């Protein structure tokens, strides 16, 4: 069995081809919109959510063709949220994944439509490809993605984030925000991957969901630590922008040391949640390690 | 059987309650986002797309509870597109349905998230409620809505619209834009209503789709005529804005008389497409009349 980095690199390369195939081709009208959609999605990011979906898919021996679609849908939702988040009326950021943000490279109106179209494509893919032998289960998967993405999930977390600028939040309030803003979609990635294969019982799904919740929160805590320490070149996006925007982070609330400790505790809790799964959960465990120990 | 106006008013009132129930309640967190979502959707519009879905539902004796969901999903997509369309980076409009636009009443960032969340809610509703006895058919309905809304449908039409500012389009190019920008969702409304009830054969679905295509285009032609003639108070939105923004319309390309003639021809073609359906299609016929003969 290949080591984690070899596995992850292979998945990332393979997934890039999946995205290239699933995104509208750039020669198809409207060409500029389609080119901008591809610009916003391709050649970028660590693909953490897809990797979580692939790792969960391995746990249940899922058909990789099915996990590809679920992973792509989650990544398209993530990509749309970044495009909209970077716009002048939100974070007004000019750099993302080492490239000019979508509204800088194209224009604001195009970026708005890119985000709208990517979200729509995510649901289209989930509806038009076979993800589970049971179409009723597939409908439940679409509901899961929608719930994780909408006003009670990711988009709601962004609204709370906006409202928090300049405010003194408590750690539970910050946690509530991040469980929605980044956590919801990460949890969905794990569960959607797991729904593509052999059915798990509810207790197993609950443990996987708890794993996703811990990993999602750890991801954000580590992000805050890295954002407070790294420089822009290493990060591939504007560093220190949260502090600059007067946004509360785990580092500003807890300090770097306590934030690191919190990430370590979440890491432990995530691994504990997987304890009953045996060797099938190896990639999920390795991803938890990667998310907490990453340097960028 | 009640006359058309009585029927339409009753449906509109009833549907308003459906939307109030399906939208996130304003006391649920994040409250400001949920209040803004309700502001953008409730108490507004002629509900043309829902009425088309209800009329198509009557043709196939559909369970009204199912059509409610399909109609709400279509209307939420329409509402999100208006919120994003009105933003400063798009049409920069301050008035919609007689009220300040969402980004004026709230702020731009909230309006962006309102649109994102409304789109997401549309797909959530389509996945979590039973719309058809066959879950596989329901997946096809979700695909239909997504295709009509995305980069090859409504959002793509908006991209073409943006690209057309200041350009001299031909009538076929303008038609191509509107078939996407407004036509796709109107066609989807008719077909989704029809999929909620007794199954039609492919030839019948094709005729219904042709009806939807003609009505959708007629809707836009009439819109252009009204926009060129009415004042802002009657229209409930800023009048003459297309000409002001140097956007091509049927009126600027053809003149008012020829545009009126085109609407009348599309009206005739729409009614012809329904000729085999008998009395069950009465509301669809009346809606075609309403769309072409309306004064606002």
Q: Which of A115, A128, A139 lies closest to B135 in CB terms?
A: A139
Higher-confidence residue of B124 and A228: namely B124
**Of A82, A79, A91, residue with least CA distance to A120:** A79
Q: What's this model's pTM, rounded to 2 decimal places?
A: 0.95
ipTM field: 0.95
By the 10 Å C-beta count (0-12 exposed, 13-18 middle, 19+ buried), B6 is classed as: exposed
Question: How buried is residue A105: exposed, middle or buried, by Cβ count under 10 Å (0-12/13-18/19+)?
Answer: middle
pLDDT: which is higher, B154 or B168? B154
pLDDT exceeds 60 at position B233: no
Residue B133: count of CB within 10 angstroms of its CB? 10
- Taking the C-alpha atoms of residue A186 and residue A53, their distance in angstroms, rounded to an integer, is 9
Burial of A249 (0-12, 13-18, 19+ CB in 10 A): buried
Query: With an 8 Å Cβ cutoff, is B293 touching chain A?
Result: no
Q: Is B275 or A296 the better-scoring residue by pLDDT?
A: B275
Angle at A246 between CA A236 and CA A98, to 5 degrees: 10
Least trusted range by pLDDT, from A67-81, A164-178, A183-197, B86-100? A164-178
- What confidence tens digit (pLDDT) does each residue in A204-254 have? 999 999 999 999 999 999 999 998 887 655 656 665 566 566 778 999 999
Closest partner residue to A117 (CB to CB) among B34, B142, B155 is B155
Q: What is the mean pLDDT of residues A22-51?
A: 96
Of A95, A67, A84, the residue nearest A118 (C-alpha): A84
CB contacts of A33 in chain B (<8 Å) are: 151, 155-156, 159
CB contact under 8 Å between A113 and B155, yes or no, is: yes
CA distance A220 to A224: 6
CA distance B105 to B95: 10
Q: Where are the alpha helices (DSSP H) in chain A?
A: 4-22, 31-41, 48-59, 64-85, 102-105, 108-128, 135-149, 154-164, 171-178, 184-195, 202-229, 232-235, 241-244, 250-254, 256-273, 282-293
Mean per-residue pLDDT over chain B, rounded: 94
Of B24, B28, B139, the CB nearest to A138: B139
* pLDDT above 80: residue A283: yes
pLDDT at residue A97, as a whole number = 86
User: What pLDDT is attached to residue B232?
Assistant: 58
Give me the mean pLDDT over the B263-284 stretch.
97
**Is the pLDDT reported for residue A25 higher than 90?**
yes
Whether residue B230 is predicted with pLDDT greater than 70 in this model: the reply is yes
Cα B231–chain centre separation? 22
pLDDT beyond 70 at B242: no
| Mean pLDDT score, A114-140 | 98
Angle separating helix axes B108-128 and A64-85, nearest 10 degrees = 160
Question: Region A45-52: what's the mean pLDDT?
Answer: 95
> Is A138's Cβ below 8 Å from some Cβ in B?
yes
| pLDDT of A91 strictly over 80 | yes
Find the CATH number of the domain harbouring B196: 1.10.600.10
Q: How does residue A107 score in pLDDT terms, banded at 50, 70 and 90?
A: very high
Q: Could you give the number of structural domains in chain A?
A: 1
**Which pLDDT does position B234 carry in this prediction?**
61
Q: What integer pLDDT is reported at residue A166 of this predicted model?
A: 82
The DSSP line for A39-81 is HHHSS-S--HHHHHHHHHHHHTT--HHHHHHHHHHHHHHHHHH
Q: Which of A137, A139, A167 to mutate to test the interface with B (most CBs of B within 10 A)?
A: A139
A124 vs B29, B90, B147: nearest CB: B147
pLDDT band at B245 (very low <50, low <70, confident <90, very high): low
Q: Residue B83 pLDDT more than 90?
A: yes
The boundaries of the domain holding residue B10 are: 4-293
Torsion over CA: B100, B106, B111, B117 (sign):
negative
Contacts of B172 (CB under 8 A, 6+ apart): none
pLDDT of residue B188: 98
pLDDT of residue B122: 98
- Using the Cβ of B167 and the Cβ atoms of chain A, whether some distance falls under 8 Å is answered with no
Please indicate if any CB of chain B lies within 8 Å of the CB of A123: yes
Give CA–CA dist A127/B136, Å, rounded: 9
Which residues numbered 86-115 in A keep a CB inside 8 Å of some CB on B? 87, 89-90, 107-110, 112-113, 115
**Does residue B244 surpass a pLDDT of 70?**
no
- Looking at residue B97, its pLDDT comes to 86
Mean pLDDT (chain A) is 94
Closest in B80, B138, B150 to A124, CB measured = B150
Residue A138: which residues within 8 A CB-CB, separation 6 or more? A126, A130, A131, A132, B135, B139
Contact B24 A151 (CB under 8 A): yes
User: Which pLDDT value is given to residue A294?
Assistant: 86
pLDDT digits (tens, 9 = 90+) for B175-184: 999 999 999 9
A119 touches chain B (CB under 8 A): yes
Contact: A147, B124; criterion CB under 8 Å: yes
Is A155 an 8 Å CB contact of chain B? yes
From B185's Cα to the closest Cα of chain A, the distance in A is 13
Best A101, A118, A127, A179 residue to mutate vs chain B (most B CBs within 10 Å): A127
Residue in A89, A127, A150 closest to B112 by CB: A89
């Amino acid at each position: 069995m290949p080591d984690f980095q070899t596995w992850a690199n292979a998945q990332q390369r393979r997934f890039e081809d999946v995205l290239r195939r699933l995104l509208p081709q750039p020669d198809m009208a409207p060409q500029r919109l389609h080119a901008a959609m591809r610009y916003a999605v391709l050649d970028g990011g660590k693909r953490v959510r897809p990797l979580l979906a692939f790792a969960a898919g391995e746990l249940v021996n899922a058909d990789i063709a099915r996990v590809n679609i679920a992973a792509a849908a989650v990544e398209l939702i993530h990509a749309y949220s970044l495009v909209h988040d970077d716009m002048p009326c939100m974070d007004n950021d000019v750099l993302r994944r080492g490239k000019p943000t979508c509204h800088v490279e194209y224009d604001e109106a195009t970026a708005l439509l890119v985000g709208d179209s990517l979200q729509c494509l995510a649901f289209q893919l989930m509806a038009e490809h076979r993800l589970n032998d049971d179409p009723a289960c597939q409908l439940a998967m679409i509901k899961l993605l929608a719930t994780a993405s909408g006003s009670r999930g990711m988009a709601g977390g962004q609204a709370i984030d906006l409202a928090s600028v300049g405010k003194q939040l408590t750690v539970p309030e910050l946690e509530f925000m991040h469980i929605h803003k980044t956590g919801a979609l990460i949890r969905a990635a794990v569960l959607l991957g797991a729904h593509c294969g052999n059915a798990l019982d509810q207790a197993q799904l609950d443990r996987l969901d708890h794993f996703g919740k811990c990993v999602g929160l750890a991801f954000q805590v580590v992000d805050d630590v890295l954002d407070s320490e790294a420089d822009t070149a290493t990060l591939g996006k504007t560093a220190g922008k949260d502090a600059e925007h007067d946004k509360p982070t785990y580092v500003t609330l807890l300090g770097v040391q306590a934030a690191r400790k919190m990430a370590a505790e979440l890491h432990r809790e995530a691994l504990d949640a997987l304890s009953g799964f045996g060797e099938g959960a190896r990639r999920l465990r390795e991803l938890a390690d990667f998310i907490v120990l990453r340097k960028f």
